[in-house]
Amino acid sequence: MNFDFTDDQQAIKRTANEMLAARFKPERMRELAEAERYDDDAWKEMCELGWAGIFIDEDHGGQGLGVVELVILMEELGYALAPVPFLSNAAAGLAIQIAGTDEQKERWLPGIASGDARGTVGILRDGEARLVPDADSAEVIVLIASDGTTSVVERSAADVEPFETMDRTRRFARVRAEGGDPLGGDHLAAADRIVTALSAETVGVAQKAMEMAVEYARERKQFGRAIGAYQAVSHRCAQMLLEVEGARSGAYYAGWCADSEPDSLPAAASGAKAYSSDAGWRVCGSSLQVHGGIGFTWEHPSHVYLKRARARRVLLGSRARQLDGLTHVLLGRSA
């Protein structure tokens, strides 16, 4: 069995890595984060490359590829800490493509695929979705209620209140809405694909944080030796590698399940989200520790990655919620 990417997947990864590295150099990423704004030109370029609709059916303006290809893009976007509305738009596209009616797909997917009429997803609790990415600029909002019902509302029909979070590379809002157009399909299958994409983004964030720590450990010297030669640092770096690779395996396995073995996806997606949530937070925290005093300064980018990882832990379902979901799946299979 071949576990490597196909030639097309390799090309997607290479193109994404090169484009994002050129667009989001550290100083540019910091500039955008401090201004709390997105790079509209970069988003336009991504849409022209077909990224926004990479998994959407060709009949609705997408490329018709799979979740694995989406996972590849999400990892690279996380690695670059790209301040663009990609995740929110992809989440809405996944929800409507998997669970939407034919009319909903026809109405919303072309705009999501082109990036011209973006969407987002939020989880409703007590009539309010408290952490909805990019709701202030989306055209359509998919709301998942605590009882499992899912509906689509236009932004103009919702009460959207932007607010600031610790993650300044992404915009968030509170959303209140009533009614809406119910999705007719399997919203749980859509949610599994969404958290799989989110897990892949966390892998990219953790990978970059680890690389920064390893590079610093090689260059920084104390008592005439690189600090990476000391066990306290080298063991921490080794643990970071272990956790990054574990999170990557979980995210890509879930992506593969989405495309090739859907029955295994619920457990794979919950496991990937739960593990990557912890791993991303620990790796970014360890990276900051390896950097020592400079890692705690505002000028160093460590804290930006740490905050993105922290925000990802609670976005679209906390670690505890994912573990609950995984437990239900496993108990259901053993019954």
Range of the domain at 293: 187-334
What is the spatial distance between Cα 149 and Cα 222, in angstroms, rounded to a whole number?
A: 58
What is the spatial distance between Cα 185 and Cα 69, in angstroms, rounded to a whole number?
A: 23
Residue-level pLDDT at 299:
83
Where helices occur in the chain by DSSP H, the ranges are 7-23, 26-35, 40-48, 67-80, 86-99, 102-114, 187-219, 231-260, 265-291, 302-314, 319-334
Residue 176 pLDDT greater than 90, yes or no: yes
Domain presence at residue 53 = no
Residue-level pLDDT at 283:
97
The predicted model gives 247-269 an average pLDDT of 96
Question: Which range among 3-12, 103-112, 297-306, 322-331 has the greatest average pLDDT?
Answer: 103-112
Domain presence at residue 248 = yes
Residue 236 pLDDT greater than 70, yes or no: yes
In the numeric block, the tokens 């667009």 are attached to 23
Domain presence at residue 69 = no
pLDDT band at 180 (very low <50, low <70, confident <90, very high): confident
Residue-level pLDDT at 168:
87
Residue-level pLDDT at 331:
42
The predicted model gives 238-248 an average pLDDT of 97
Residue-level pLDDT at 326:
42
pLDDT band at 327 (very low <50, low <70, confident <90, very high): very low
Residue-level pLDDT at 146:
72
Domain presence at residue 35 = no
Residue-level pLDDT at 4:
86
The predicted model gives 236-265 an average pLDDT of 97
CATH label of the domain that carries residue 235: 1.20.140.10
Domain presence at residue 317 = yes
Domain presence at residue 74 = no
Residue-level pLDDT at 332:
44
Give the least confident one: 46-60, 147-161, 191-205: 147-161
pLDDT in tens, 67-104: 999 999 999 999 999 999 999 999 999 999 999 999 99
What is the spatial distance between Cα 208 and Cα 323, in angstroms, rounded to a whole number?
A: 26
pLDDT band at 317 (very low <50, low <70, confident <90, very high): low
Domain presence at residue 245 = yes
In sequence order, the β-bridge partners of residue 206 are: none
Tokens of 250: 């979980």
Instruction: Calculate what percentage of the chain has a pLDDT beyond 90.
Output: 71
Domain presence at residue 72 = no
Residue 12 pLDDT greater than 80, yes or no: yes
Contact 181, 149 (CB under 8 A): no
The number of distinct structural domains making up the chain is: 1
Residue-level pLDDT at 252:
97
Please state, rounded to an integer, the average pLDDT across all residues of the chain.
Answer: 90
Predicted structure pTM score: 0.92
Contact 51, 73 (CB under 8 A): yes
